[in-house]
Amino acid sequence: SGLHALAKSKGKLYFGTATDNSELSDQPYVAILSNSQEFGQLTPANSMKWDATEPSRGQFTFANGDTIANLAKKNGQLLRGEIEIGFFVILSTSVRLIHRLHVGHNCVWYNQLPSWVSNSGFNAATLTSVIQTHCNSWDVVNEPFNDDGTWRTDVFYNTLGTSYVSIALQAARTADPNAKLYINDYNIEGPGAKSTAMQNLIKSLKSQGVPLDGVGLQCHFIVGEVPSGLQQNIQAFANLGVEVAITELDIRMTLPSTPALLAQQQKDYQTVISACEAVEGCVGVTVWDYTDKYSWVPNTFSGQGDACPWDANLQKKAAYNGIVAGF
């Protein structure tokens, strides 16, 4: 038994988790991470991003990304990369893919870009070539939209307009025709302006024949605030003919935690999982690290934390039971 085994028994492809290289010296952590009954898929949280893989133009370093890819391979787990141009994902057990595609989680993303890209002043032709060289990988376009559904005015949009999305997707498809290509974003989980913008982008890309396999809903939620209409919105994405994946699930609370907050968190995890379970086109769920010990939340949202299904002592929380109940 375990979360991945349960997800598979319900027809899903995987239940997985993010992880990071600095965590891999923690043996008890790695033992749970490597339990392929719990986790059938890993996402490198940082080590396949642009700043990690191409810190200087044309200078590629894959060592840290390879470490996680090799661990996944050894454990028989899928790898989900996020390249960083906006947001795309690829699912594969192929380590070779990283080198050919170039980065895992994130190909073109406005964040964690080396300054040689963000402050380059490259013209459109040069930036196109830079993207083509870089995007040999998975979550291809990361976070292209602002919350109101307008485009982020990052270096890609400012130089190339919306065409950077198809440039990145096409480069990734050429690099590995078998990789699944995703666009990934947050605040598109429930209905609203940003979700509508993403659905319109997907329709437009598909009508132009741009390669796109799926959409990633990040699902960085707050306890008690899972968006209403989550399941209907997952269905609306699936109805566009793309896979849907829950790519970065965590549900944070204001610290210190209380029994009431932890009980609500259990319900919220169940709500999210059951929404994915109910929609055939929702193929898998990834938590953004499985334990509060290594969650990104406290470093990013001041005073908040305890967002994961295992606590900081690597013990399962009530949230774990919520996941089980959701499937």
Contact residues: ligand XIL, CB under 6 A: 45-46, 82, 105, 142, 218, 248, 296
The DSSP secondary structure of 249-285, one letter per residue, reads: EEEEEESSP-HHHHHHHHHHHHHHHHHHHH-TTEEEE
Size of the chain, expressed as the number of residues it contains: 327
Q: How far is the CB of 299 from ligand XIL (least distance, A)?
A: 7
Q: Which residues contact 97 (CB under 8 A, 6 or more apart)?
A: 79, 81, 90, 136, 137, 138, 175, 176, 179
Task: Give the alpha-carbon dihedral of 304, 309, 312, 316, to 10 degrees.
Answer: 150
CA 58 to centroid of chain Cα atoms? 25
The nearer residue to ligand XIL, 78 or 324, going by C-beta atoms, is: 78
Residue (191 or 298) nearer to ligand XIL, CB: 298
**Nearest residue to ligand XIL, using CB?**
296
Please return the burial class of 40, using the count of CB atoms within 10 Å of its CB with bins 0-12, 13-18 and 19+: buried
Q: Is residue 248 among the annotated active site residues?
A: yes
State which residue, 142 or 291, has the beta carbon closest to ligand XIL: 142
Output the smallest distance, CB 244 to ligand XIL, in A. Answer: 16
**Active-site pick, 54, 84, 248, 277:** 248
In the bound state with ligand XIL, the residue whose beta carbon lies nearer, of 122 and 214, is: 214
Q: How far is the CB of 68 from ligand XIL (least distance, A)?
A: 13
d(CA 11, CA 64): 32
Q: Shortest gap between Cβ of 258 and ligand XIL (angstroms)?
A: 26
Task: Give the closest residue to 295 by CA, choosing from 245, 241, 262, 253.
Answer: 253
Please name the amino acid found at residue 150.
T
Q: Between 220 and 317, name the residue whose CB sits nearer to ligand XIL.
A: 220
- Nearest approach, Cβ of 282 to ligand XIL (angstroms)? 19
* 299: number of Cβ within 10 Å: 8
Catalytic residues: 248
